[in-house]
Amino acid sequence: MMRAWTLAVALGASLHVAAVTAAPDEIVVFTDEFEKKGEVGYELHLNYAARARKIPDYPSEQAPHRVFRVMPEIVWGLSDKWNLGLHFPLSYDRNTHSSTLDGAKLRLHYLNVNEYSADSAAFYGVNYEISVYSQRITESRYNAEIRGILGLRRGDWKFSVNPILTQALSRNAGGRFVEFEIFGQVLRSFGEDFAVGIEHYSSFGRLRNPTFGAQSEQTTYLVMEFKTKRHFDIHLGVGHGWTSPTDKRIFKALIGLPF
């Protein structure tokens, strides 16, 4: 654990020069779900911005309104506490009827779970990520992310929080700066195969000059999770943006594939 957090602090200290807003292809709170040593996991991330910003924030950006995003993910369990993930974000723009491959992401993920009893546990970890994106998605082509993972399970309830720092690794017209976000989830299980909950995503902009209240990005999702008879893990959510910089209606799904 100390080695993981030493790495986290070192990378966090390096985030003093730049950042870029997190890409929109992955709307997820990291919890205690994890591939163990020798396991391979496959997942599809999908989301659609039904009511969203129509004007680009910078000249080459793809504005999110009516854009459908798909991101296949494959994860390898390196050990009981470390795994490695590879992701390929794609999008379909209903405004232009065009499909594009938007980049690639490589992820190294650490997680430790302390089981106190059959229905009580605490978990913590860190996720390191390097991405290469088209400028349709982010103003900086090369980016890094460090995401903390903190959570608690008590009976049928699970609470998870992800503080996130994002850094641009390439020069861009918007300059270089650090951005800060916090994602959170509260989930209530009803049996082994069904759960409902709430997720909230807060983006505060530049770390040195954060924005709060109506100037920040605040989105809340109502979510549900269930397993199908054919062993697909399904996560569905519908989100509402509360503030003016935020997309107003977003639908998302994560599908865990059973092979």
Q: What is the pLDDT of residues 35-76, one digit of tens each?
A: 999 999 999 999 999 999 999 988 889 999 999 999 999 999
Calculate the CA dihedral of residues 34, 197, 26, 256 and round it to 10 degrees.
Answer: 50
Band (14; pLDDT cuts 50, 70, 90): very low
Q: Give the model's pLDDT for residue 177.
A: 72
CA nearest to 86, candidates 102, 107, 100 = 107
Q: What is the pLDDT of residues 148-200, one digit of tens each?
A: 999 999 999 999 999 999 988 887 655 667 889 999 999 999 998 999 999 99
- How many domains does the chain contain in total? 1
Domain of residue 44, residue span:
2-257
Q: How far apart are the first and last CA of the chain?
A: 30
Domain holding 37: CATH number? 2.40.160.40
Band (9; pLDDT cuts 50, 70, 90): very low
Q: What is the mean pLDDT of residues 235-252?
A: 94
User: CA 44 to CA 89: how far, in whole Å?
Assistant: 10
